């Protein structure tokens, strides 16, 4: 998968996660990085959007314990 394809796939998933408060934006940033990682040659997480969402949530929760991400449905 090319870098352009990886960026397009990550952008497609991120369009469901709107910008918002600080913790939502941290979640988006972490999610983007985990999505790109999962699509790379040597992923450190499972190759799925669900795994990227779970990892991003684990990144935010130590600082914002009650955080629930806003995720839009199609």
Is 18 within 8 Å of 27 (Cβ atoms)?
A: no
Q: What is the pTM of this model?
A: 0.91
Kindly tell me if the per-residue pLDDT of 72 is higher than 90. Answer: yes
Confidence of residue 1 (pLDDT cuts 50, 70, 90): confident
Q: At what angle do helices 49-60 and 22-39 cross, to 10 degrees?
A: 140
Q: Percent of the chain having pLDDT more than 70? A: 100
């Amino acid at each position: 998968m090319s870098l352009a394809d990886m960026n397009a796939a990550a952008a497609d998933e991120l369009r469901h996660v709107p910008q918002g408060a600080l913790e939502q934006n941290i979640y988006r940033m972490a999610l983007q990085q985990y999505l790109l990682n999962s699509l790379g040659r040597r992923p450190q997480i499972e190759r799925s959007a669900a795994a990227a969402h779970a990892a991003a949530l684990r990144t935010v929760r130590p600082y914002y314990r009650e955080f629930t991400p806003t995720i839009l449905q199609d």
